[in-house]
Amino acid sequence: MKNINLKPRQKLIAPGKSNLLVHRYAETALSVWQRFKPEPTYVNMECIDKFYRPPLRLINGGDNVFYFCNEFQRINQVLRLESDSDYPCLITPESIKDIQQLAWMEVIDLIFLKDAHHPDLFKALKGTAPQSVICQLMGIRYLTVKSYCRFAGISQSSYEYMQCKFGLEERVLGIPQNMNWLSDVPS
Amino acid sequence: MNIKKFDNKELKVVLDQLVPFDSPHYIKVQNLIINLIKVKPSFCFCVGEHASLDMPVFTSSECETIVRTVVKEKNIENWAVTYMLVCFYQKYGKVHTNNEAWQFMSVYLQIIIMISIRKDEHSAKVNQLSVRLRMSLKDNNPQSKIVKKLISIHAQHASLTNVLAVLRQYEAQIRDDEESGKVVNQKLAGKIGQIRLAYEVVAENKAFVGKTYTNSQNNELSKDHANKRYLDSTDEPIRVTIFGRPHKNDNVADAENIADDDPPALLDNDFKPSRTTAKSSELQQWKLKNNYRHARRNQFYFPTNLRQLSLLSYQMLFARMWQLFGVVSYKQRQVYAVILLSLLSGRKIQDVIYELALDKRQRKWLGHESGSAADSYAMSNTINVTSNRRSHLLPHRQSHDNEFKLPLPTRLQAVIENKFLIDSNEVSEVLASLKTQLELPVLSNQHIDACLYTVIKNELQEPLHADMITGIDVKHSSPLYYTSIETISLEKTYYSAIQLLTEYCTADSQGELRQLSMSSTKSNRYKKYVGSDMTLNTDICQKFFDELAESAESYNGRLKRNVSIRQDRYIEQFNAYGVWLWHIIFIQTGIRPVKHAPGLLNQFDFRQRLLWVSDKEERHGQGQGRLIPLSDFLITAIQNYIEYIKQFAVMHNSIYPNDQFPINNVLNSSQPLIQLFSQNPKGFADITPSKVRYQIKHFFSHQDNWLRHQLRSLLTNRSPEHLICALYGHEHPDQEAMHPMSSLSINELKELSADLDKVAVELNLRQVEVNIYG
């Protein structure tokens, strides 16, 4: 595969911390995603030839800097384990609406993880995400608990159960908040 | 007693004073008081006919609002009655005229009103009375006993005189139990006394007697500390330094901080002389003289010291003294008693003369113990420690008291029973004649003064016991502040000293003097430990560390992040771990809880197993800081923590670019090892005692220094005293373990680490397993 022809939109990039940055409009989504991301287990792709690995979709920022806006897990993996060689990428023109949608799609995908923490995730979507983008992606009119649960495929009661469970857990965590233990010890 | 009669107008004036019109719900509260008074009418006074009003009812939310307003407006004193009533209401619920609690409250309010209409200095008692009752309402508070007793007293006795009589009896009994050590001293007697006094004022119309302060001997001694003042408060003498750096960020008693290093400052401390002057011999001499004075104050007591005799001389001296004491004339016997008492108590001859010239009741350290077959005199030694006023901790203190008693020979007791005055010249004459009789090279007052101290310190090698038994002032011996010690060990040391001292006495006298060791004084039997008030029982301490370890481990398997950094459980875990480690470091090193302690990572040397700390103000002309041996347990704990923060930083810093954990600064020793995440201001900050106190504020509150007290008490009598002093930095000037002239080897100091490990075992300390993934 030495004489491979790359189309103008395709490019080989050596990924590194200095030239592969998150796009401005995907920053919030990335930070939310990081807080809810699954355990870092993944398929090892180092053995696959780089042209067979899934390409990254990047945006050219000039000065040899490229921005990413989705595939956070994959980027993480590339930066940590596969940064020794060039990597095939697709360069797309900058379109803010699409960038936002791609980025938030990553967050919405977290809903389907089996140990997703729905109440927190709902709060994060409600509080930090642009509502129009979210509603469009989830195909709903308003983001409510009800519509969230329907989208996630869980019942509202299991959502509430989860809420209570974590609320109760909060009380036994950390340093006790009273001095009752003093009287439990025989003096 | 005449029952006073109130008309409505008069009552209204008093009520307006007790419940001012700007206080919350004042009409309703005044109403409640008027109605309550009628529950037990004519106890102290009667009221004129009032238009019958309904008993007001407070909802629980109303009560809470009132309490919150009172606290928020900082009007606890002005609105004391409102505050007390509402707290009482919260506990005992709606008013029922048959309810004993409310019947008591009716009387209590009548007392308060009677005091308040006097309009004299007694009116301060109104606030006092309400404070007492409010404190008693808390379940965990030892004072809750008082209110229960008060209610039952009022239920059984109908008149004020009867109630007062029972109250006096109750106070006397509690006082007796507390003083003898029969019960844990929770300082209840004084509090009951305040209530009793208020009843007395009403019943017997007592005039106000202010406190008068006499010039006691102690104040005289402190004249050379011109920058110190002594405030006399009810149960704790407070020393105040007028100038100097205030310790803002800790809650340690000032006296304790100052006692640690307290050279009398030169007047021209800040004077920077020119180079030629600085090297002038005059200034050099002045410095030398000052150093010498300071060293002398703390007496080296080397065996070669000219201010003391050899053991043999003391033994001969004592034998001769005791023999003559039995045969000389009545008047002469008193002089001998003074010298003997000084030999047996280690007090200065001057002090003994002063004490014996006082009436029986005024004597300070010669107390007599009644109750046994005959009244017997004993020396009582008081260790002047900071008293613990945290009422939730009182039942859990290790020490019963700060006073212990040592018996005196019966024959001596008979002589000192009544007061008499001896001229110090007579003592000198006796000493001069003894000197020739025994052919001693020297013999003067100071040789007598030093006797017991030298015997215990140099022959029995118990410097700490020597300080305690001879009544050394805490200001001159910092270890006394921190130690809670087994009374029996002090008794044993004293008896061994007597044993040594009486070596050359006749067999009869030996029998007489040594049999003392059989008759342990009554109060000591109740007081297993004496000394520091801050040291807690071992099981409380075990539980404390167990709870802390569990709180750090409780996050394992329950970790989750949140969009808001304030609710991120990873960070809560980080804080809990830091708080645990902070406490572990203090119980394993005994360092002072200063800002940023234990300091930077490069202060730890894990290979040499040493920690370098500088935790107090430096002394003039001495090197900085000291070395502390590290225990195996502590080394493991810190190394685990370092591993943890490395992993924590990797995960944390990638997620929170704005709130970075300064891992590089910590590892490169430019920021303290332990950091805490604080909510306000948001971010990681260097650890300080006040931050730790904030983290555990609901869980446990104690003086910052308490782990230092705890460790000192756990090490005392188990490790060599000079090593403990080196660990704590409590050596006398020029006797430091790391002094250039010191003969102590560093390896000897390191042996302490095994003892520190034993402490870890005794307190059931365990390493926490903190899981950082999920």
- pLDDT grade for A186, boundaries at 50, 70 and 90: low
pLDDT of residue B123: 81
Q: Helix or strand or coil: residue B651? A: helix
H or E element that contains B610: strand B610-613
- Chain A CB contacts of B572 under 8 Å are 173-174
Question: What are the phi and psi torsion angles at B380 (to 5°)?
Answer: -110, 130
- Chain B CB contacts of A40 under 8 Å are none
- pLDDT grade for B625, boundaries at 50, 70 and 90: confident
Q: Is the predicted pLDDT of residue B285 greater than 80, yes or no? A: no
- Of B538, B535, B556, nearest to B546 by C-alpha is B538
- pLDDT grade for B542, boundaries at 50, 70 and 90: very high
- pLDDT grade for B536, boundaries at 50, 70 and 90: very high
CB contact under 8 A, B698 and A177: yes
CA distance B157 to B605: 70
pLDDT of residue B632: 95
Tokens of B32: 């409640």
Ramachandran assignment for B51, one of left (phi > 0), alpha (psi -120 to 50 degrees), beta (any other): beta
Tokens of B600: 């930077």
What is the 3 state secondary structure string of B182-216? CCCCCCHHHHHHHHHHHHHHHHHCCCCCCCCCCCC
- Residues forming a β-bridge with B678: B683
Q: Do residues B357 and B420 lie in contact, with contact meaning Cβ atoms separated by under 8 Å?
A: yes
Q: What is the mean pLDDT of residues B273-287?
A: 65
Distance from CA of A115 to the nearest CA of B (A): 11
Question: What are the phi and psi torsion angles at B404 (to 5°)?
Answer: -140, 155
Q: Is residue A47 within 8 angstroms of chain B, CB to CB?
A: no
pLDDT of residue B220: 42
CA distance B475 to B27: 54
CA distance B391 to B191: 12
pLDDT of residue B379: 83
Q: What is the mean pLDDT of residues B289-303?
A: 61
pLDDT of residue B748: 92
pLDDT of residue B607: 93
**Nearest residue of B to residue A176 by CA position?**
B699
Q: Where are the beta strands (DSSP E) in A61-160?
A: 66-68, 87-92
Put simply, the chain B residues between 676 and 705 with a CB less than 8 A from any chain A CB are 695-696, 698-701
- pLDDT grade for A172, boundaries at 50, 70 and 90: confident
- pLDDT tens-digit readout, A16-53: 888 888 888 888 899 888 888 877 677 777 778 878 88
Put simply, the chain B residues between 531 and 570 with a CB less than 8 A from any chain A CB are 537, 539-540, 543, 547-548, 551, 554-555, 558, 560-563, 568-569
pLDDT of residue B114: 85
Cβ-nearest to B140 among A127, A172, A183: A183
Q: What is the mean pLDDT of residues B473-490?
A: 88
CB contact under 8 A, B698 and A176: yes
Q: What is the mean pLDDT of residues B622-650?
A: 90
pLDDT of residue B472: 86
- pLDDT tens-digit readout, B591-614: 988 888 888 999 999 999 999 988
Distance from CA of B394 to the nearest CA of A (A): 10
Q: Render B336-405 in DSSP notation, one character per residue.
A: HHHHHHHHHH---HHHHHHHHTS-TTT-SSEEEE-SSSS-EEEEEEE--PPPP--TTTGGGBS-SBSEEE
pLDDT of residue B224: 45
Q: Among B393, B563, B694, B696, pick the best mutation site for testing chain A contact (most A Cβ within 10 A).
A: B563
Q: What is the mean pLDDT of residues A154-168?
A: 89
- pLDDT tens-digit readout, B83-116: 988 888 888 888 888 888 888 888 888 888 888 8
Residue with tokens 């009628």: B38
pLDDT of residue B767: 95
Put simply, the chain A residues between 52 and 81 with a CB less than 8 A from any chain B CB are none
CA distance B100 to B85: 15
* Stretch among B175-184, B353-362, B592-601, B667-676 having the lowest mean pLDDT: B175-184
Q: Helix or strand or coil: residue B596? A: coil
Q: Is the predicted pLDDT of residue B231 greater than 60, yes or no? A: no
Q: Helix or strand or coil: residue B123? A: helix
pLDDT of residue A104: 92
Is B601 exposed, middle or buried, given 0-12, 13-18 or 19+ CB atoms closer than 10 A?
middle
Distance from CA of A5 to the nearest CA of B (A): 37
Q: Is the predicted pLDDT of residue B244 greater than 60, yes or no? A: no
Q: What is the mean pLDDT of residues A107-130?
A: 88
CA atoms within 13 A on the CB side of B617: 12
- pLDDT tens-digit readout, B232-242: 555 555 555 44
Q: Do residues B25 and B66 lie in contact, with contact meaning Cβ atoms separated by under 8 Å?
A: yes
- Chain A CB contacts of B653 under 8 Å are none
Average pLDDT along chain B: 83
Q: What is the mean pLDDT of residues A173-182?
A: 86
Give me the percent of chain B exceeding a pLDDT of 90.
35
- pLDDT tens-digit readout, B155-190: 888 888 888 899 999 999 988 888 777 777 778 888
pLDDT of residue B761: 96
Q: Is the predicted pLDDT of residue B282 greater than 50, yes or no? A: yes
CA distance B221 to B355: 15
pLDDT of residue B405: 86
* Stretch among B190-194, B268-272, B385-389, B612-616 having the lowest mean pLDDT: B268-272
pLDDT of residue B157: 85
- pLDDT grade for B257, boundaries at 50, 70 and 90: low
- pLDDT tens-digit readout, B552-573: 999 998 888 888 888 889 999 9
pLDDT of residue B49: 63
CA distance A32 to A18: 22
Quote the ipTM score: 0.85
- pLDDT tens-digit readout, A52-68: 888 888 888 888 888 99
Q: What is the mean pLDDT of residues A109-134?
A: 88
Q: Which residue has the higher pLDDT, B513 or A3?
A: B513
